[in-house]
Amino acid sequence: MLNLLGEYTCKVDAKGRVSFPSRLRKQLDGVLHHGLVLNRDIFEKCLVLYPKPEWDKVNAEMAQLSRYNRKHQQFQRMFMKGATAVELDGAGRISLPALLMQYAGVDLKEDNEIIISGLGEKLEIWNKAAYEAQVLGDDIDFGDLAEDVRGDIEPEA
């Protein structure tokens, strides 16, 4: 099981390529040879980068949806929209497709800084300003959120 950790500030070059942080490459060492899948996030204007074995688990969940249920198909269509297989090139970079960069608010002409953040079995890729506003913003009381989400769950012994 992966436990991807850390926050990394990176720059996207004029061709949409990002030098993948070496610490993340080390964390992904056992699965990187399978490849990576980049997709839109469901809830936020950021991208999610899955190691291929984790993406395969997500895809298996999608396969359980009924092809005869309109809402299931609509969800699957919307979720899969833009999903792209990506690989590290010889220089340790990944290419971010233009449509996905647009979705995440990464504008190569304005601000090409992004945050890559470990989130357990996947990575999130954020426009730096959006990350700071959403994740580091003062509008969320982390203590209240922790109580709502984890307050009734006892840690395993």
Report if residue 22 sits inside a domain: yes
pLDDT, one tens digit per residue, over 3-59 is 999 999 999 999 999 999 999 999 999 999 999 999 999 999 999 999 999 999 999
Nearest to 91 by CA among 37, 19, 24, 29: 19
Strand positions, DSSP E, 6-148: 7-11, 17-19, 36-40, 47-51, 84-86, 93-95, 113-119, 122-127
Measured over the CA atoms of residue 145, residue 149, residue 153 and residue 154, the dihedral's sign is negative
Report if residue 37 sits inside a domain: yes
Report if residue 143 sits inside a domain: no
Tokens of 59: 């895809």
Report if residue 139 sits inside a domain: no
Global model pTM greater than 0.85: yes
Report if residue 114 sits inside a domain: yes
Our count of domains for the chain comes to 1
Bridge partners, residue 18, by sequence: 12, 94
Report if residue 136 sits inside a domain: no
Report if residue 29 sits inside a domain: yes
- Residue 157 is predicted with a pLDDT of 65
pLDDT, one tens digit per residue, over 100-139 is 999 999 988 776 899 999 999 999 999 999 999 887 776 7
- Residue 107 is predicted with a pLDDT of 83
pLDDT, one tens digit per residue, over 64-99 is 999 999 999 999 999 999 899 999 999 999 999 999
Report if residue 20 sits inside a domain: yes
pLDDT, one tens digit per residue, over 18-34 is 999 999 999 999 999 99
| pLDDT over 80 (residue 1) | no
* Average confidence (pLDDT) over 146-153: 74
- Residue 51 is predicted with a pLDDT of 96
**What residue numbers bound the domain in which 114 lies?**
7-127
Question: For helices 70-80 and 52-63, what crossing angle results, to 10°?
Answer: 160
Question: Residue 96: which CATH number?
Answer: 3.40.1550.20
